[in-house]
Structures are given as structure tokens and as C-alpha cells.
Amino acid sequence: MNTFSALIRDMWTSSDETERVLTTAPLKSMIQRLAPRFMGSQQQDAQEFLRYLLQGLHEDVNRVKSRPKPITTDIDDSLSASQKSMEAWKRFLRLENSKFVDLFVGQLKATLRCTVCGHASVTFDPFWDLSLPIPSRSGQVRLQACFDLFTKEEVLDGDEKPTCSKCQKRQKCTRSLSIQKFPRILVVHLKRFSPQERFRGKLNTTVDFSVNGLDLSPYSAGQTPCRYSLYGVANHSGTLLSGHYTAHCRHPYTAEWYEYNDSRVHVMDQRNVNSGKAYVLFFELAGSKHRSGSTHV
């Protein structure tokens, strides 16, 4: 956390040097010391690295200093869905509570419905990011199509049959996902390297997304508002074994877009933000800025 803070301070320190250069080497050295799998210069997965970084920073500033024993009992099934959601979130915060949780963590709602008796049971789980499947191997799809596939109702039958809590036996059921709590910062990971694709190469499908006004209300379990604006993209070009990362980022005060490509940084046209190589997308919830400015981390 200290190393990350030093980098952020250097980044935002005013300077007369227009060509001032910042290096992330101290942060990388610290991370690879704590997580040797990130050592060296071979290609790493950006989403895996981001998850490790955010959770590591969270652990350093967790407001929970003395961790209580986790509650292992099931949430009372007689409670309403909203009450179950609040209880699940309260249990999560008993163990994990930090500024990073405030910004990045949302809550998913999973609904399991028995096709025999119609009974529906719901569970709620926190998420740091959403990994969305891509519905096409080539061509172009809209980001909403990825959300459609992610939240699509699936049938659980055969060996996948769950036990219906009302029938008290394994039954054919349907399962669907929706978003119960939207985080201030929504991180979307496009599954270009899913396990099913590992030996078939990378999915190079262009995923079309809007820079402003992403409306996720069709995937909401009830919360409003849920409109987001894009502020960053991690792009990947190349293959599973050899590739290159670049980033497109919106300045939180000037709203100008910049491209980051190793040591080269330059202003770019907003129309070129979607290069067709997006891998991880960063969105900010509308109206979520603090009085001190942007919530960007």
C-alpha cells in the first residue's frame, strides 16, 4: 500500500517538467516479492493481476482489525430477497471492509427455480469484477450481448440437478443471475481466454461499447441508478502465448483521453477508444463522485 501510494502521489504531484517520467518499477518489485508468479517479463493476465492488486491493497487497509469468526449458518429463508441481500452484505462487511470495497465491490443475485414445484431460492455473493462471456468467436458484438449471455437463464438437469429445498429432492431447475448492488467502479473482464478457448486461441471478437451512458438497468435486481461512464480500457493485442498490453484512460478533470503504450503517452481521439482489442473495461457509476473529485483509483 505504501508503494502504491507513493506512485499515486508522484503521478499527481505538479511539476514544471513537461516531460517528467514516472516508473512503476518499485510497485512491480514489491508485488513480485509478495507474489513470485508475477516475476520476470513474461506475459501475465491483466485481470488476474488486477484482482491480486486490489485485494492486496484492500487487505492492507481493511477496517476490520480483528477478524471475527465467519457466520456459517444459512440466512433465514423466510426473509424477503431484499432482507437476504442486506444480511449477506452485512456478513461480508464483518470480514472485508475498506475503501477499496466501498469503490469496487458489488453484489450478485442468483435465483434457483424448481421446474416441478416452482419454488425459487435466492443467494447473494460479492464480486470485485464481472467476467463476461463473448457470444461470438469473430466479427462484432455489443457489450450488452455479453451481459445478456452472462445473465441468461440456464437449465440445470441430469448430473447438474440441484436439490430443491421445498421438494427435498434433486429436481430439474433453472438458474439466472442479476446484479443486486452496483459498485461505484465496475470492472468488466471480457473472457477472451476462457478455459474452453485455451487450446483454440484467443477470441478476437470486437466488443462494441459506449463511452457514456451505459445503461445496465435490464440486468438489475432492482437498484437504481445503474448508468455508467467508461473511464479506462486495458487492451490486449497478440495471442495467448505472446502479446502486448496498452491502455486508454480518461483524465478525471479535463475529460481528455490518453493512450498509454509502454513509455509513450499521448492524447487520443475519443472515437478511437474502442480499438477492438479491449480486454478489461473500467466504468464509473453516474453520480458517484465525491466532493473532492473523481472516485478514480
Domains of the chain from N-terminus onward: 45-63+82-285 (3.90.70.10)
pTM as predicted: 0.91
Model confidence at 281: pLDDT above 50: yes
What nine digits make up the cell of 233? 480500457
Counting beta carbons within 10 angstroms of the beta carbon of residue 28, is it exposed (0 to 12), middle (13 to 18) or buried (19 or more)? middle
Instruction: Please check the confidence at residue 199 and state whether its pLDDT lies above 60.
Output: no
Show Cβ contacts of residue 92 under 8 Å, excluding neighbours closer than 6 positions.
105, 126
Closest CA to 197 of 136, 286, 262: 136
How confident is the model over 160-182, as a mean pLDDT? 93
High-pLDDT (> 70) share of the chain, % = 92
What distances in angstroms separate CA 13 from CA 18, 30, 249, 258, one per listed residue? Answer: 12, 22, 18, 18
**Per-residue pLDDT at 82 exceeds 60:** yes
pLDDT the model gives residue 287: 80
Q: What is the overall mean pLDDT for the chain?
A: 89
Cell 510497485 sits on residue: 27
The pLDDT score that the predictor gives to residue 209 is 94
pLDDT tens for 87-140 read 999 999 999 999 999 999 999 999 999 999 999 999 999 999 999 999 988 889
Question: Distance between CA 33 and CA 19 in Å, rounded?
Answer: 30
Residue 242 is which amino acid? S
Q: What is the pLDDT of residues 49-62, one digit of tens each?
A: 999 999 999 999 99
Tell me: the pLDDT tens digits for 5-56?
A: 999 998 888 776 666 788 889 999 999 999 988 888 777 889 999 999 999 9
Model pLDDT, residue 292: 39
What pLDDT shows up at residue 295? Answer: 52
Grid cell in block for residue 222: 432492482
pLDDT the model gives residue 291: 36
Mean pLDDT, residues 201-218: 90
Is there a cis peptide before residue 252, judged by omega within 30 degrees of 0?
A: no
